Amino acid sequence: MVGAGPAGISAAIWAKRMGWEPVIFERSRCLGGQLTDFSLPIVDLPGLPEILAPELVDRLRKQLQDLNISVEYGCQAVSFTGQRLVLADGGEIASSRMIYAPGVRGRKLEAEGIEGLADTSTSQILASAQPRDRVLVVGGGDRAVEAASRLAEANIPTVLVHWRSVLRARSSFQKRLMMSGADVRMPSRVCAVRPTEGERVRVEIQGPLGVESLDVSHVLVRIGMEPDLTPDLAQAFTQMPHRVRLIGDAAEPTCDRSLVVAFASGMRAVKALVLDADSDMTTDPK
Ligand SMILES: Cc1cc2nc3c(=O)[nH]c(=O)nc-3n(C[C@H](O)[C@H](O)[C@H](O)COP(=O)(O)OP(=O)(O)OC[C@H]3O[C@@H](n4cnc5c(N)ncnc54)[C@H](O)[C@@H]3O)c2cc1C
């Protein structure tokens, strides 16, 4: 398994049930994938109402330990040959099947100077906020609107910039945003980010009345997610579909990305690979 998020974990549990010896390779140092980013209780998992993400991660860790499934941390998978999984540090692991559960990554904003911006998160900004901080959030979906609401609710001056005239976020999130005191600018788009003296950056925003410059301490880009695919692993998925399965958020349209779908995709992938392996054995003349 590549990826220790909900999909990879579920696939490993199912692989063990089907009599295989799964090992999970995870590039980060933690279990849970996006579960490590949750700030609110999870309300939509059947049987586990209001569970907090750290508790769910602890339960998943215990379940893996009880099943003797090992998780190798700090191991970034880069390619799969059909016989071996190759890691970024040059390590190779003998394996004839791979389940690839890499999750998603934030889409990049196209604007001059944006490459120089340090990546940060809402939680990091909240934890280190200084009195004169001002944050620019870019985007109009759930993630952008939730981030802007949380920051503004914490009394951090927050500007939300969205390129359309209407937000895409669900209506309850939009109501929260309106109550939060965040300054919403739309339709507007970020056209350049320039360094200034000191810690701030100067952002040029094109709005209906022209270009405006805004000095901010942080820029949070939340303009959607895309599958976090490593090219050679993605190629293996198309070249050897009977040996490789892509699962979880990376395989789903945006509207279906969720914990229950990630868990279910692990089960479906393992069962399909087991069926393929069985038919390989019955058709192999040796
Ligand atoms: C803030 C937030 C709140 C959410 N709230 C909910 C909710 O309430 N309910 C709900 O159902 N869903 C929620 N979700 C969505 C849910 O978390 C995802 O649908 C789910 O985590 C997807 O699981 P996954 O295993 O596909 O991907 P991920 O959780 O993203 O895990 C992928 C893992 O793969 C690893 N990886 C990637 N590439 C490699 C590689 N080459 N080698 C090794 N490791 C690699 C990554 O480091 C990561 O750990 C939320 C998401 C966020 C961010």
CA of residue 248 to ligand 1 center, whole Å: 8
| Gap from CA of 86 to ligand 1 centroid (Å) | 22
Residue nearest to atom 13 of ligand 1 (CA): 258
**262-243-275 Cα angle (round to 5):** 80
Residue nearest to atom 7 of ligand 1 (CA): 42
Query: In b/e form, how buried is each residue of 189-208, taking b as 16+ CB within 10 angstroms?
Result: bbebbeeeeeebbebbbbee
| Distance, CA of 53 to CA of 51 (rounded, Å) | 6
The pLDDT value recorded for residue 123 is: 85
For residue 133, give the amino acid letter.
Answer: D
Ligand 1 atom closest to the CA of 34, numbered from 1 = 29
Spatial distance between the Cα atoms of 112 and 124, rounded to a whole number of angstroms: 25
Is residue 202 in contact with ligand 1, taking CB distance under 6 Å?
A: no
Task: Provide long-range contacts, Cβ within 8 A and 24+ apart, for 123-130.
Answer: 123/37, 123/39, 125/151, 125/156, 125/218, 125/220, 126/150, 126/151, 126/154, 126/156, 129/154, 129/156, 130/217
**CB neighbourhood size of 283 (10 A):** 7
Burial of 25 from C-beta contacts in 10 A (0-12 / 13-18 / 19+): buried
Q: Which of 10, 14, 34, 256 to mutate to test the pocket of ligand 1 (most atoms within 8 A of CB)?
A: 34
105 and 249 Cβ atoms separated by less than 8 Å: no
Look at residue 279 in the predicted model and tell me its pLDDT. Answer: 77
* CATH 3.50.50.60, applies to 114-221: yes
Q: Is the CB of 87 inside a 6 Å radius of any atom of ligand 1? A: no
**Do residues 117 and 190 lie in contact, with contact meaning Cβ atoms separated by under 8 Å?**
no
Ligand 1 contact, 269 CB (< 6 A):
no
From atom 17 of ligand 1, which residue's Cα is the shortest distance away? 34
Ligand 1 centroid distance, CA of 42 (Å): 14
CATH 3.50.50.60 region(s) of the chain?
Answer: 6-106+225-283, 114-221
Architecture of the domain defined by 6-106+225-283: 3-Layer(bba) Sandwich (3.50)
Q: Give alpha helix (H) positions in the chain.
A: 6-17, 53-66, 122-128, 142-153, 171-180, 231-239, 259-283
Q: What is the pTM of this model?
A: 0.86
Task: Return the residue whose CA atom lies nearest to atom 38 of ligand 1.
Answer: 102
Listed residue (183, 204, 185, 182) closest to 193, CA to CA: 204
The residues that bridge with 195 in the sheet, in sequence order, are 201
Is residue 56 within 8 A of residue 33, CB to CB? The reply is no
Residue 56 near ligand 1, beta carbon < 6 Å: no
- Ligand 1 atom nearest 104 alpha carbon: 30
124-143 burial by CB neighbour count: b if 16+ within 10 A, else e? ebbeebeeebbbbbbbbbbb
The finding on whether 25 has its CB within 6 A of some atom of ligand 1 is yes
Per-residue pLDDT of the chain (286 residues; tens, 9 = 90+): 999 999 999 999 999 999 999 999 999 999 999 999 887 899 999 999 999 999 999 999 999 999 999 999 999 999 999 999 999 999 999 999 999 999 999 999 999 999 888 888 898 899 988 888 999 999 999 999 999 999 999 999 999 999 999 999 999 999 999 999 999 999 999 999 998 888 899 999 999 999 999 999 999 999 999 999 999 999 998 899 889 999 999 999 998 999 999 999 999 999 999 988 877 766 654 4
Rounded to whole angstroms, the Cα distance separating 240 from 99 reads: 12
Integer Cα distance of 86 and 84 in angstroms: 6
In order of 163, 181, 188, 273, the CA distances from 208 in angstroms are 11, 22, 7, 54
Dihedral sign of CA atoms 42, 48, 49, 55 in order: negative
Q: Which of 238, 233, 2, 32 is nearest to 99 (CA)?
A: 2
- Among 259, 260, 268, the mutation site with the greatest number of ligand 1 atoms within 8 A of its Cβ is 259
Q: Which of 95, 89, 77, 106 is nearest to 234 (CA)?
A: 77
